[in-house]
Amino acid sequence: MKKLYQYTMILLAGVLGACSSLEVSEPYSENLPAGFTAQGYMDVHPILRKLQIKDYVEVHNAVVKDSLTKMGVDYATVKAADDAAFAAMAPDVLKAICADKFLGGYPADSCANPAADTKIMADLAEFNFVGVADDFAVLTQVPIDEIAISQQYVVFGQAHGWAYRWCDATELANMTRDQVKVSVINAQGIPVDSSITQLQLKHVSSADKFVADPGYYCMDPATGILHLVNQ
């Protein structure tokens, strides 16, 4: 299942479940920066929540498929009809799913008539719970796995320079991520200071060793620029 794989790779999570907070006793909590909250991190990176919800839908639909198959019912036929009903739901509800930050996440002008946009509808169709009449109501009640969100930051986000919260006004003058440099050994064995963003971009297209970002960042809510947080 493609989306389940994507979610696993991005969140590096376990079982979906509701978690009210990351307790101090959790093994990952000691590696989180001061002031980190899963809700705050998710707000900066809504894609994490979007993929979590899609994974939840996919697991639900897999259970439905298994049940129908055991009863001798053709799941493909049922799903096709259910997908058609999803696309034909009340326009205002479909618009709400399209524009919701943690669901479609599309700009309001792109959600004026999402049913007419093949690409958008292909994305939104992955929020369709087969056999559920009010998808939107259920989607908004999918439990947040805060442990998984927090683990993603520890094992991936921090090393790749992801902001973990929004900046406050006092942090907007701090060094930006593009200005952060780290010391690496060049081909001649000499240590040189290099831009962390350039090093990581180079790693994507070469066999160069990955260099973890040493910084902790916030995001400017107005520009999307990353700044070092106040220590």
Note the pLDDT tens digit of each residue in 190-207.
Answer: 777 788 998 888 877 666
Looking at the domain assignment, is residue 18 inside a domain?
A: no
Mean pLDDT of the chain: 86
If asked whether residues 44 and 135 sit together in one domain, one would say yes
Q: Is residue 24 a part of any domain in this protein? A: no
- pLDDT-based confidence at 189, cuts 50/70/90? confident
Max Cα–Cα distance, the chain, nearest Å: 68
Q: Provide the number of structural domains found in the chain.
A: 2
- For residue 101, is it within any domain? yes
Point out the domain boundary residue: 139, 160, 186. Answer: 139
pTM over 0.85, yes/no = no
Tell me, yes or no, whether 189 lies in a domain: yes
Surface-to-core class of residue 115, CB atoms within 10 Å of its CB (0-12 exposed, 13-18 middle, 19+ buried) = middle
Tell whether 125 and 42 lie within a shared domain. Answer: yes
Determine the pLDDT at residue 91.
Answer: 95
Q: Specify whether 123 is located in the same domain as 195.
A: no
**Are 112 and 170 contained in the same domain?**
no
Which range of residues forms the domain containing residue 58? 2-9+34-139
Identify the H or E element spanning 53.
helix 46-70
Same domain, residue pair 46 and 128 = yes
Do the domain assignments include residue 58? yes
Q: How far is CA 45 from CA 23, 51, 208, in A?
A: 22, 11, 27
| 38 and 133 share one domain | yes
Q: Which of 10-19, 29-38, 147-156, 205-214 has the lowest mean pLDDT?
A: 10-19
Q: Are residues 135 and 156 in the same domain?
A: no
Shared-domain flag, residues 107 and 159: no
38 and 130 assigned to the same domain: yes
Together in a domain, 110 and 160: no
Instruction: State residue 87's pLDDT score.
Output: 93
Write the single-letter amino acid at 123. Answer: D
23 burial class (0-12, 13-18, 19+ CB within 10 angstroms)?
exposed
Q: Same domain for 42 and 124?
A: yes
Q: Is residue 21 part of a domain?
A: no
